[in-house]
Amino acid sequence: MIPRSFEYSAPGTLDEAVALLQKLGSDAKILSGGQSLIPMMKLRLASPPHIVDINRIPGLDYITEKDGFLRIGALVRESDLERSELVRSRFPILVDTTSVIADPLVRNQATVCGNLAHGDPANDHPATMLALGAIVVAVGPRGERDVPVENFFPALFTTALEADEILREIKIPIPPPSTGGAYLKLERKVGDYATAGVAVQITLNNSGACTAAAGIGLTNVGFTPIKAVKAEAFVKGKQLDQAAVKQASEIAAGESHPVDDIRGPADYKRDLVRVLTARAIVRALERVKGGV
């Protein structure tokens, strides 16, 4: 399988890349890790006339903590995230997420930012970024702008990025103490997309109740990644005992919109959201208390 012919550019700076995008418009497609794009081009599901390869742009492979945010640059590979000491110690939920994406060989090449920019509701990072309240930094000819990730996925395979914008960075607020998070995914086999996946991030106050910062995101149970806002509102201010966890998970399941497909019937997936939400809340609580 060979892609259709295309023109290829590998700009050396972000400015050059943006100028190219501005000139080429919707003819251009950005190549970062390429682990979704190249298979789609080989299968001729996508045939972009012009590939703009951003891999030659220096200085985009950083994972740093700065000004209250964990910042992940456009060329950070999944395997970089998985092996980052900063991420492993502070954001176990990101390790949960990256380690269930595809396989180690794909993760050596695939980028975290690409996982969002692709706009696929079956990708895993979107749910986690929703739970974490992440912000996407887009750069274009009009400069930079911040897009809260909850506004980043307006429709199926569609993102808030304009045709001449590049996702330069994901920034994740550094959570306060007494915060824990977890991502759980059921897949039929290694490398498969999620049958369903759930990301949960919670922060407890001094009396052990859930603060307003709670985040719950759902993978592959709708046309876009889903922020389970009703379940988030429900847990706010509550002591997360068994009854509350059960109720929150039922609310989250009600917010999913799965369809019947090869991974199972909609009812099954909805129930899976319930089960995974409950388990993810429990694991997040364990991590608040210092568990792994």
Partner 1 sequence: MKKAISVTVNGVVHHQDVEPRLLLVHLLRDVLNLTGTHIGCETSICGACTVIIDGQAVKSCTILAVQADGASVTTIEGLGTEANLHPVQEGFWEHHGLQCGYCTPGMIMAGAQLLDRISSPTADQIRHGLEGNLCRCTGYQNIVEAIQYAASKAK
Per residue, what are the HEC states of 79-113? HHHHHCHHHHHHCHHHHHHHCCCCCHHHHCCCEHH
What's the closest the beta carbon of residue 232 comes to partner 1, in angstroms? 32
149 contact partners, CB below 8 Å, separation of at least 6: 116, 126, 129, 130, 133, 134, 135, 136, 170
**Three-state secondary structure of 22-84:** HHHHHHEEEECCCCCHHHHHHCCCCCCCEEEEHHHCCCCCCEEEECCEEEEECCCEHHHHHHC
CB of 22 to partner 1, least distance (A): 21
The yes or no reply on residue 268 touching partner 1 (CB under 8 A) is: no
Which range in 28-36, 111-119, 139-147, 199-207 contacts partner 1 by CB under 8 A? 28-36
Q: Rule CB under 8 A: is residue 53 a binding residue for partner 1?
A: yes
Interaction of residue 5 with partner 1, rule CB under 8 A:
yes
Between the CA of residue 16 and those of 19, 160, 165, 258, what are the distances in Å?
A: 5, 21, 12, 41
- Minimum CB separation of residue 98 from partner 1 in Å reads 13
Positive or negative, the CA dihedral 202, 60, 168, 195 is negative
22, amino acid identity: Q
Is 98 a residue that touches partner 1 (CB under 8 A)?
Answer: no
Per-residue binding string, partner 1, 244-263, x by CB under 8 A, is --------------------
Report how many residues bind partner 1 under the rule CB under 8 A: 32
Nearer to partner 1, 106 or 147 (CB): 106
Q: Enumerate residues 178-197 that contact partner 1 by CB under 8 A.
A: 190-191
Stretch near partner 1 under the rule CB under 8 A, chosen from 1-9, 115-123, 264-272, 273-281? 1-9
- Selected range binding partner 1 among 49-57, 84-92, 141-149, 274-282, rule: CB under 8 A: 49-57
Q: Which is nearer to partner 1, 190 or 292 (CB)?
A: 190
Closest by Cα among 231, 150, 213 to 176:
213
Binding site for partner 1 (CB under 8 A): 1-8, 10, 31, 34-35, 38-39, 41-43, 51, 53, 55, 77, 79, 83, 102-106, 108-109, 190-191
